[in-house]
Structures are given as structure tokens and as C-alpha cells.
């Protein structure tokens, strides 16, 4: 399917190319001028290029972080590995208070399952 699409677009481009000599020369001159202007853009707009390179550096850092995050999540899901727990962030120098965990508010009789069998027959 890919080759069919590429062939289609290349054929369309070839069909749109001019056939007479003067039109071909004008197209060649326009393409050369455009390539020259693109290549010398930073010479003419130094401040814009500097700002663009700063934005590009930020974009690359974000892209790097995103790909690492996606890789870690995917490998965790596919390989069954658990992610390392993040250490809690504390702002004071005192150690955090110990939190006592309880099993809940149910009493032992509340935790017993209800009888689901048939009732016992009375009288023998």
C-alpha cells in the first residue's frame, strides 16, 4: 500500500512539472531562490533563530522525558515489573511521624461471613 501511495504522489508531481523550456527555467530559478532564502534565514533573522533554538532545546528535553516515561510505563505493563516507589518529599528536618495502620473499624463478629447453607431441620 505504501508503494502505491508513493507512486501516486510522484506521478502527480511529475504531471505538474512544466514541459516548455521557459517555464522550466522559471521554476528552476524560483526553486533555487527559495532554497537560498531558507538556507540563509538565520543570517537575516538572528534573534528569531536564537529564540527558536531555545524553544527547540526545551522541546527536546520534554520529548526526552516523555519518551522515557512512555518506555517505563510500557515496560512496567508488559513485563509486570512494579515501578519504584517515589520517596516522600519532606520540607522540615524532623522525621515524619509514624502512621499506625489499622485493619478497619469492623469488629471480629462483623467480619464473620453470613451463613449461606440450608437451615438445619428441627426434630429428628
DSSP string, 103-119: --S--HHHHSPPP-SPP
Greater confidence (124 vs 79) lies with 79
Q: What is the pTM of this model?
A: 0.42
pLDDT at 41: 94
Query: Distance between CA atoms of 74 and 53, rounded to whole angstroms?
Result: 31
Burial class of 42 by CB neighbour count within 10 A (0 to 12, 13 to 18, 19+): middle
**Would you say how long the chain is, in residues?**
124
- Range of lowest pLDDT (53-62, 88-97, 101-110): 88-97
CB neighbours of 48 closer than 8 A, spacing ≥ 6?
A: 42
Query: Distance between CA atoms of 105 and 40, rounded to whole angstroms?
Result: 74
Amino acid at each position: 500500500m505504501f508503494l502505491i501511495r508513493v507512486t501516486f504522489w510522484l506521478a502527480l508531481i511529475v504531471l505538474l512539472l512544466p514541459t516548455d523550456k521557459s517555464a522550466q527555467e522559471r521554476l528552476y530559478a524560483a526553486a533555487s531562490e527559495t532554497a537560498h532564502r531558507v538556507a540563509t534565514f538565520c543570517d537575516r533573522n538572528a534573534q528569531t533563530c536564537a529564540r527558536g533554538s531555545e524553544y527547540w532545546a526545551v522541546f527536546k528535553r520534554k520529548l526526552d522525558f516523555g519518551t522515557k516515561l512512555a518506555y517505563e510505563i510500557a515496560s512496567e505493563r508488559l513485563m509486570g515489573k512494579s515501578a519504584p516507589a517515589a520517596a516522600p518529599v519532606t520540607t522540615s528536618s524532623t522525621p515524619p511521624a509514624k502512621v499506625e495502620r489499622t485493619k478497619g473499624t469492623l469488629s471480629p463478629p462483623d467480619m464473620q461471613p453470613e451463613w449461606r447453607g440450608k437451615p438445619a431441620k428441627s426434630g429428628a
